[in-house]
């Protein structure tokens, strides 16, 4: 349970592409289906202007909860790698002197596989001391370095910070309105009788009752000594308010999205 000085910072993580990897190899970059703690801490560290070599112990101590508002779809990217100088690519093996050997026969282009989440929306809740979270909230609103959703090429949409809230991770994530587009919200209201509520999956960091172990806690972002450790999480379902107006409200009566006619329906939008 949070103490009297604790608070929760809400971050809306949305964009055309996201990629939250917790492991990688030379020719493959995977993404997890939801943001990792290392990715969220990396975003907060970048917003605060911290260099990769600086410690992040205070950020690691923050507790993380993630709600999946829109899971998105998986994108596999066709990606090639080559040496701009026209040289043959090195292989994984090294010589007795620790120098990478060149491919034999020479290989000048390598195909790599990279995965992204398209059009996903997540609500990340970060719990900790109010003083630290107030500083981080201000940093996210006025970041020192460009912010990214996992990878540098994945640019977030605005707003990212939704501000501070009081309560536990569970209660804050359950109370916050569904973070999707108005079109998605209206479409849900037209096809669901429970138009004012939606069930969403979430994960909460829980060192005591967490049933799963994930290795995504950064001990250091230093490129020369990157290290990670694990944390325990538990999976839950939350019934969340959609934010749709009451059926008899003026806004609802005047909303063309509720007229029953959608010109983009055949396109699946």
Number of other residues whose CB lies within 10 A of the CB of residue 120: 25
pLDDT, tens digit (0-9, with 9 covering 90-100), for 154-199: 999 999 999 999 999 999 999 999 999 888 999 998 888 888 999 9
In angstroms, the CA 230 to CA 105 distance is: 41
In the DSSP assignment, the letter for residue 103 is P
Structural domains present in the chain: 6-267 (3.30.70.2660)
In angstroms, the CA 178 to CA 201 distance is: 12
pLDDT, tens digit (0-9, with 9 covering 90-100), for 33-51: 999 999 999 999 999 999 9
pTM score, whole prediction: 0.81
Find, among 67, 52, 43, the residue nearest to 154 by Cα.
43
Find, among 175, 196, 176, the residue nearest to 185 by Cα.
196
Q: Say yes or no to pLDDT of 3 above 70.
A: no
SS3 122: strand
pLDDT, tens digit (0-9, with 9 covering 90-100), for 48-94: 999 999 989 999 999 999 999 999 999 998 888 888 888 888 877 77
């Amino acid at each position: 349970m949070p103490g009297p000085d604790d608070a929760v910072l809400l971050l809306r993580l949305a964009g055309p592409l996201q990629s939250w990897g917790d492991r990688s190899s030379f020719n493959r970059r995977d993404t997890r289906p939801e943001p990792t703690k290392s990715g969220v801490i990396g975003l907060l560290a970048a917003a605060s202007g911290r260099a990769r070599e600086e410690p992040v112990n205070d950020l690691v101590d923050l507790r993380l909860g993630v709600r999946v508002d829109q899971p998105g779809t998986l994108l596999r990217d066709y990606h090639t790698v080559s040496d701009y100088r026209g040289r043959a690519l090195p292989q994984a093996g090294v010589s007795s002197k620790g120098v990478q050997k060149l491919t034999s026969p020479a290989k000048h282009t390598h195909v790599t596989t990279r995965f992204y989440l398209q059009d996903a929306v997540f609500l990340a809740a970060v719990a900790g001391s109010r003083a630290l979270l107030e500083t981080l909230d201000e940093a996210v609103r006025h970041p020192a370095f460009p912010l990214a959703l996992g990878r540098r090429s994945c640019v977030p949409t605005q707003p990212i910070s939704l501000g501070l809230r009081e309560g536990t991770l569970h209660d804050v994530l359950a109370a916050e309105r569904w973070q999707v587009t108005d079109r998605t919200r209206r479409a849900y209201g037209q096809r669901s009788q429970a138009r004012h509520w939606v069930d969403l999956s979430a994960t909460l960091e829980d060192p005591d009752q967490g049933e799963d172990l994930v290795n995504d806690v950064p001990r250091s972002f230093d490129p020369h000594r990157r290290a990670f450790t694990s944390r325990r999480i538990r999976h839950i379902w939350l019934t969340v308010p959609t934010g749709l107006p009451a059926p008899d409200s003026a806004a609802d009566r005047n909303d063309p999205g509720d007229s029953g006619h959608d010109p983009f329906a055949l396109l699946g939008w």
